[in-house]
């Protein structure tokens, strides 16, 4: 079964940061409710302390319903934003972490947001090892030249995937000091 080429907004494409992306058929965790706002502990400005494997977001800021990010290596001085919107950009709680879900045509990009301390934020994504944990998979290239591996993860497969070695840290951030 094929799915249509993905038509992400430009800002959503920038958030991907790579030419190959793990995608899902639905927002995850599937049974979790969609949060209306980012958690209070996450609000504010963050600066990258570590960026891994083509993840270019060096500054990120959360307000109640909008995430603003800068990719100065690719587009200096041009911040982009994504607004929490049902069926488009969703935040879902998963125990103590959150899943930031960004929709495209017939797929979702899912990033795990972890806050190991009040002044630290980490973002995780999935690499190709995810194929070992999900039975149903499709691959297709978008018109923008990004190859998507689309996973049809069941609830059980998602649970295994989130605990697997396929979940990789793509960025670490520290809370920005006001005035800097």
Closest CA to 37 of 13, 65, 9: 65
β pairing state of 44-51 and 97-104: unpaired
Per-residue confidence (pLDDT) for residue 171, from 0 to 100? 93
Helix/strand/coil for 24: strand
Per-residue confidence (pLDDT) for residue 180, from 0 to 100? 52
Per-residue confidence (pLDDT) for residue 179, from 0 to 100? 56
Helix/strand/coil for 15: helix
Structure tokens at 134: 């999900």
Distance from C-alpha of 42 to C-alpha of 175, rounded to nearest angstrom:
9
Please give the chain's pLDDT, 180 residues, in tens. 333 333 344 344 444 444 556 889 999 999 999 999 999 999 999 999 998 867 888 999 999 999 999 887 777 888 989 999 999 999 999 999 999 999 987 889 999 999 999 999 999 999 889 999 999 999 877 676 667 789 999 999 999 999 999 999 999 999 997 655
Helix/strand/coil for 126: strand
């Amino acid at each position: 079964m094929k799915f249509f080429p993905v038509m992400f907004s430009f800002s959503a494409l920038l958030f991907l940061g790579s030419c190959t992306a793990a995608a899902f058929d639905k927002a995850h965790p599937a049974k979790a409710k969609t949060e209306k706002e980012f958690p209070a502990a996450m609000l504010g400005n963050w600066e990258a302390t570590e960026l891994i494997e083509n993840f270019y977001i060096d500054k990120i800021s959360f307000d109640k319903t909008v995430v603003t990010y800068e990719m100065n290596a690719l587009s200096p001085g041009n911040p982009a934003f994504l607004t929490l919107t049902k069926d488009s950009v969703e935040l879902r709680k998963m125990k103590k972490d959150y899943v930031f879900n960004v929709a495209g045509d017939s797929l979702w990009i899912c990033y795990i947001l972890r806050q190991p301390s009040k002044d630290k934020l980490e973002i995780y994504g999935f690499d190709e090892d995810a194929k070992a944990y999900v039975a149903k998979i499709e691959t297709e290239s978008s018109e923008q030249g990004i190859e998507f591996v689309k996973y049809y993860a069941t609830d059980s497969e998602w649970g295994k995937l989130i605990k697997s070695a396929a979940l990789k840290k793509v960025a670490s951030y520290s809370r920005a000091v006001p005035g800097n």
